[in-house]
Structure 1
Amino acid sequence: MTNPIQDSVQPWQEIAAKKRQAEQSKIPPEWILPTSVVEGAKHRRSLTGPFLESLLDPKTSRITAMDVAALIQHMGSGTLTAVAVVRSFCKRAAMIHQLTRNMLEIGFDIALGRAKELDDYFHQHRRLVGPLHGIPMTLKDQFHIKGLETSMAFVGWIATFEGLRSTDKERNFESELVREFHLLGAVPIGKSPETSNNILGYLWNPHNQLLTAGGSSGGEAVMQALRGSAFGIGTDIGGSVSMPASYNGVFSLKPSTGRISMKGVAGVGQGQQVMPVVAGIMGVSIATLRAVLESLLSTEPWLRDPYAVPLPWREAEEYHADTHGSLAFGFMEHDGIVTPHPPVQRALKMVKITLREAGYNLVDWNPPSNRESLEIHGKIARGDGCVDVWDALQLSGEPEVPEIDGLFESGLPRKPLSLAEYQDVVIHMKDYRNRYQEYWMSTAEKSGTGRPVEAFISPVTPTAAHLPKQFFHAEYTTSINVLDYPAVVIPVTFVDQNLDKIDPSFVPLSETDRINMDAYDPAAYHGAPVAVQLVGQRLGEERLLSLAQIVVDALDKYKERAAVVSANK
């Protein structure tokens, strides 16, 4: 909806600058980095590892290195307070923001106030408030938190409620998911931006600052890569959680629609419910993803959100390592359209060898083509002409960022699909889903277990991150949204310019494949994380996460053996 009260006096650049200054002022003076450090960081290849750790005191470094389970154990035993934990992550997040500009909303004071309440509760009752007691978290700036703004990085949404002025909701409204985290004891410390926006600018990959952080939940992926919070929440309609998680070397879960509540979440295309945006979880381990999802489901969100699926956590659906030899995975090396870059090929090969050595069966995955998902996804996601995005930009007069060049035509929204055209696309989607499911069930004939494959492995994208504006094929992830399957991203390795070179015998599968491979530069990509995705059956998040843990454990053992062999050479 267009805001009838447009601020036509103040240029959008000034509004954005004031917003940046306002958030910067929330950082305590003792956490401010020297200008020389901030400027020097811009010229570093990587911000990870020793460089960032050198900026932290030992206590902050020690606490922020712990995963969710360890933090809960320490707070439950009283050896750490919630205030100490939250303060450490806030301090680290403040430094990360100064180096990367990846916090649209800073809520350190609110977070420390909540941490004090949690400590008081623990001292009085000698128990934790909930399973995420005192755990610092961050969210993409689509989720409303009382006391903070929600701009979604639109300049025109600053100091409004989703672009509207004079409402009683600005800084006074809470998304259902945030309410659930409050009940569980988790502590939001701030909110992250879209990867490219007119308030903070472009977000680079902290492992390799020549490359993108991925989008659109790139801010949250950077936060997790640099450990600015213990876990994060992004949003996804076409890979917007999976891609940045892959590019930044962190784990993620994109669930099926309805497993995590989206009630009261800001966004565009709100009326599109055929293939809705979902909330996804990012963290440094499968155990973290599992703990967050299981905790959320314990709050029974379907009692408050009619679009949440009434499905509690199902422990009986999980697989365990003692099922050795009785599991089969589908395996997609490429989708017949675009070949992954050499480092992604190497990561896939590592996973294939790992699973075979561990005794699991692999089935070549040849489902209905990803090319069909390309025909479906864009028409559903953008079938309205993206008029709400255009309206949001008009509030301030800000331009569209380069990543959405072509979204509009002659500076105006494109003509939306007619209802009949839209229904034809939905019919195609239903047929595609039916045929994909039939194919999946048919794999029982080849699996060697008597059952269809439990999940399939594929590239997340054809690239390990990518140079700006050098991304040509999203269908490895958009197809998963079209199908409404859950997907887990599993980091595998890093680009090595000495190992990951284009095979001289490479023959492109398509013109897009040729363009994509021509864009690969081993030296430019060196050091970037490489991941794969594990995809499961719709609403099968419990099973998928347990399978992902099996893959991770097998990979860890494979890497240990490889390290021993290398050391003995």
Structure 2
Amino acid sequence: MKVDSWEQVAARKRKAVLDSIPAEWIIPDSLLPPETQDDVMTFPETSGWFTAEELAITNSEVLELLPKLASGELKSETVTRAFCKRAAAAHQLTNCLSETCFKRGLEMARQLDAHLAQTGKPVGPLHGLPISLKDNFNLRGLDATVGFVSHVGAPATEDATLAQLLQAKAGAVFYVKTNVPTAMMMPETVNNVMGRTVNPRNRRLTPGGSSGGEAALVAFGGSPLGVGTDIGGSLRIPAACTGLFTLKASFGRFPALGCRSGMPGQEAVQSINGPLARTLGDLEAYCAAVVGAEPWHDADPRCLPIPWRSSPSSSRKLKIAVMWDDGMALPTPPVTRALRQTAAALRAAGHELVEWSSRDQAEGLSLLNRMFVADGGRAILEEIAHTGEPWILPAMQAYQEAAAAGVAAELGTRDLWRLHAERQAYQKRHLDRWNAAGIDALLCPTTPYASVENGKFRHVGYTGVYNVLDQSCISFPTGIKVDAALDKALDMASYQPMSEVDKMIQSECEFSLNLRSTGPRLPVDHAEAVHGMPINLQLVGRRLPDVWENSETQLIPFAFRLEEEKVVAMTRVVLDALS
């Protein structure tokens, strides 16, 4: 029997996703932006294709929608239909979806509307709210390919634990899943099944990865709130590339069962799921809803029994350490400028700022990379080998090289245990250093870039280290944007790079191809390519907190406290200073 090629399987999958969009949600050719149009963020408002009601709904914050949905002022079916249409548009413009379940979403919405009409009570704190999910969250009847052609046509038989909780206890509605890179192990979003997802703010730029489809959808307004995952920066990098808020929690705060992994069984670095949102308040509302469902009781035995406490308010000033670079790759000029402005704003607000050396960062990134290829690249190789699909290079080069080395590259049990011991010793040294400094938080870049051209994301050191440390982090938009007049590239004739990757980053940011040109491609300053893009920074907290004055956290046993709420509160302090 003839076996279809991987290209044929992938082409059918792409067509099936596009065919699942109803005809009335296909953008008319007369309104479709040309491929040469970089920024498509204004399409919903300028195209005339969306109604005033659809725009009002899809431009609303979650905290604006929830009381209207809970009271019945807005029907969930109406809200869901509006977001379905905008998500369909987002996919046609950015290729951000991996699956749709519009019929399921609308049926869920109708059932929620009926429940509210009959009982007068919402199902839960997210009653009637459409929520998008990253591709790896299983939803019954839908594939979770995680970018592998071999997983096409193998639909899940039940929903992921988080999805069950969001539907049954919080009242959320599911309608789409979003694109990821192969195995979810790249900082951009491209695979051999669905192809590349691009950034709606500038389609020449990446939305990051691996939750890049989710970030592109939320940034465009095709979802009020999305859920992604993070194992080395997979939430924080997309948030930074698109100007969104996200939280990477410590492991055990959110339920994680029932998700598909690109490397099943890899737990040396735990994958954490979390929200992507347009506002900090929306992010916190999601966290409170999920943790408020008490998933440790019956959903996921790995969840810690820690209630969500409202962000504590405190009059005391913060002591924040600033890490200007990670010793491996200097932030590009726009990010450095944003970090300086943020530090200056915090000082002006009376907070104490101290310098933080990057001396431990390279070791943390080395640990991360060694743990990721501890299996010799076999988990990814085996899936690729099933269909003969190619490796996506250079992003997956480390896994390809490990796989090519064969058995010699795979760690045995004893060597893996030694690696775990190294990780534990690294975590303890970092904790001791944090305690000695007496700091509340660490402020640093999320990535070296505001965003970067497709195919040019080079470095995850600023995010991946905090996965190894399992610390709570928020990537947040500063409100500062790239300014081509201010953010000039470094003079590479005089700059001494920190590393080869730094040399590559700075050189590529000196000149980028003008992809809009229909004639010969001309060099253009990187700052011009990313002009106007939002700039995110990262705020890092501890895994175990101190006690805030006048805070209800004092009621929680010390051994069962993590710092997600405090990081949210401190981010609010930073934003207040910047405003």
Which of 21, 27, 39 is matched with 1:46 structurally?
Answer: 39
Residue by residue, what CA displacement relative to the aligned partner does 1:295-329 show, whole Å, maximum 9, x if unpaired? 111122122322222222134xx332x51x52221
Give the superposition deviation at 1:221.
0.7
Paired with 1:50 and 1:16, the residues of 2 have a C-alpha distance of 29
Partner of 2:530: 525
Query: 2:542 — aligned with what?
Result: 537
Separation in 1, partners of 2:54, 2:248: 30
Change (3 A) 1:77 1:441: same
User: Secondary structure, in 3 states, of the residue corresponding to 2:203?
Assistant: strand
- Correspondence for 1:163: none
Partner of 1:159: 153
Return the letter of the residue paired with 2:376: G
Task: Give me the TM-score of the superposition, normalised by structure 2.
Answer: 0.87
What is the letter of the counterpart of residue 534 of structure 2?
Answer: P
Which residue among 495, 498, 501 is the counterpart of 1:509? Answer: 498
What per-residue deviation string (whole Å, max 9, x for no partner) do you get for residues 474-498 of structure 1?
Answer: 1111101110011101112222211
Q: CA deviation at 1:411?
A: 6.9
Q: SS in structure 1 opposite 2:204?
A: strand
How far apart are the structure 2 equivalents of 1:519 and 1:196? 20
Contact 2:13-2:194 at 8 Å conserved across structures = no
Deviation at 1:519, TM superposition (A): 1.4
Contact persistence 2:93–2:200 (CA under 8 A): no
Match of 1:305 in 2: 300
The one-letter amino acid of 1:549's match is R
Whole-angstrom CA distance in 1 between matches of 2:531 and 2:101: 35
Determine if the alignment matches structure 1 residue 483 to structure 2 residue 469. Answer: yes
Aligned residue in 1 for 2:558: none
Moved more, 71-80 or 467-476: 467-476
- C-alpha separation between the residues in 2 aligned to 1:507 and 1:198? 38
* Aligned twin of 1:500: 487
User: Equivalents in 1 of 2:121, 2:564: separation in Å?
Assistant: 29
Contact 2:84 2:102 in 1 (8 A): yes
CA apart distance, 1:507? 4.3
AA of the residue aligned to 1:68: V
Indicate which of 10, 14, 31 corresponds to 2:8: 14
Supply the distance in 1 between the matched residues of 2:278 and 2:40 (Cα, whole angstroms).
17
In the other structure, the counterpart of 2:555 is none
Please tell me the root mean square deviation across aligned C-alpha atoms, in Å. Answer: 1.9
Change (3 A) 1:26 1:470: closer
The secondary structure found in structure 2 opposite 1:10 is coil
Q: 1:17 to 1:471 in 2, by over 3 A?
A: closer
Structure 1 residue 551 corresponds to structure 2 residue 574: yes
Instruction: Give the Cα–Cα distance (whole angstroms) in 1 for the partners of residues 9 and 328 of structure 2.
Output: 44
Q: Aligned partners of 2:233 and 2:380: how far apart in 1?
A: 19
Contact 2:323 2:357 in 1 (8 A): yes
Aligned-partner residue type, residue 541 of structure 2: G
Contact 1:139 1:233 in 2 (8 A): yes
Counterparts of 1:251 and 1:229, CA distance in 2? 14
Task: Measure the CA separation in 2 of the matches of 1:221 and 1:258.
Answer: 23
Alignment of 1:22-101 (within 5 A): 22-38=16-32, 40-49=33-42, 53-54=46-47, 55-101=49-95
**2:240 maps to 1:252:** no
Q: CA deviation at 1:224?
A: 1.1
Q: Which residue number corresponds to residue 336 of structure 2?
A: 345
Is this contact kept in 1: 2:96–2:198, CA < 8 A? Answer: no
1:435-514 pair list within 5 angstroms = 435-443=429-437, 452-492=438-478, 493-502=480-489, 506-514=495-503
8 Å Cα contact 1:379-1:422 kept in structure 2: no
Letter in 1 for 2:55: S
Q: Does the 8 Å contact 1:196/1:202 carry over to 2?
A: yes
- Judged with a 3 Å threshold, the aligned counterparts in structure 2 of structure 1 residues 100 and 469 are, in CA distance, closer, same or farther, namely closer
TM-fit CA distance, 1:540: 0.8
Select 1:319's aligned residue among 312, 315, 321: 312
Cα shift at 1:374: 2.1
The letter of the residue matching 1:489 is S
CA contact under 8 A between 1:327 and 1:361: conserved in structure 2? yes
Matches within 5 A, 1:177-326: 177-183=162-168, 184-194=170-180, 195-303=189-297, 304-315=299-310, 318-320=311-313, 323=315, 325-326=316-317
Contact 1:390 1:413 in 2 (8 A): no
Consecutive unaligned residues of structure 2, counting only runs of 5 or more, are 181-188, 510-525, 544-561
| Superposed CA offset, 1:261-306 (max 9, x none) | 1111111322222211111210001111111111111122122322
Residue 313 of structure 1 aligns to a residue in which SS? coil
**8 Å contact kept, 1:110–1:189:** yes
Moved more, 402-411 or 207-216: 402-411
Segment drifting more, 13-22 vs 42-51: 42-51
Q: Give the counterpart of 2:161 among 153, 176, 180.
A: 176
Distance 1:56 1:350, change over 3 A: farther
In structure 2, how many angstroms separate the alpha carbons of the residues matched to 1:81 and 1:51? 21
- TM-score, normalised to structure 1, is 0.89
Structure 1 CA distance for aligned equivalents of residues 128 and 490 of structure 2 = 50
Distance 1:277 1:422 in 2: 18
Task: Summarize the Cα distance change of 1:523–1:371 in structure 2 as closer, same or farther, 3 Å threshold.
Answer: same
> Deviation per CA, 1:213-247, whole angstroms, max 9, x where unpaired?
11111101101111111111111111111101100
Q: Percent identity at matched positions?
A: 35
SS where residue 210 of structure 1 aligns? coil
Residue 200 of structure 1 and its aligned partner are, at CA, apart by 1.8
Q: What does 1:363-378 correspond to in 2, within 5 Å?
A: 363-366=354-357, 368-378=359-369
Structure 2: distance between partners of 1:81 and 1:550: 35
Comparing 136-145 with 385-394, greater Cα deviation is found at 385-394
AA partner of residue 329 (structure 1): I
Q: How many residues align?
A: 528
Shift of 1:383: 0.6
Gaps in structure 1 of 5+ consecutive residues: 1-6, 161-169, 444-451, 558-569
Cα distance 1:53–1:370, how it changes in 2: closer, same or farther (>3 A)? farther
Looking at structure 2, the residues matched to 418 and 171 of structure 1 have their Cα atoms a distance apart, in angstroms, of 32
- CA gap 1:8/1:277 in 2 versus in 1, 3 angstroms: farther
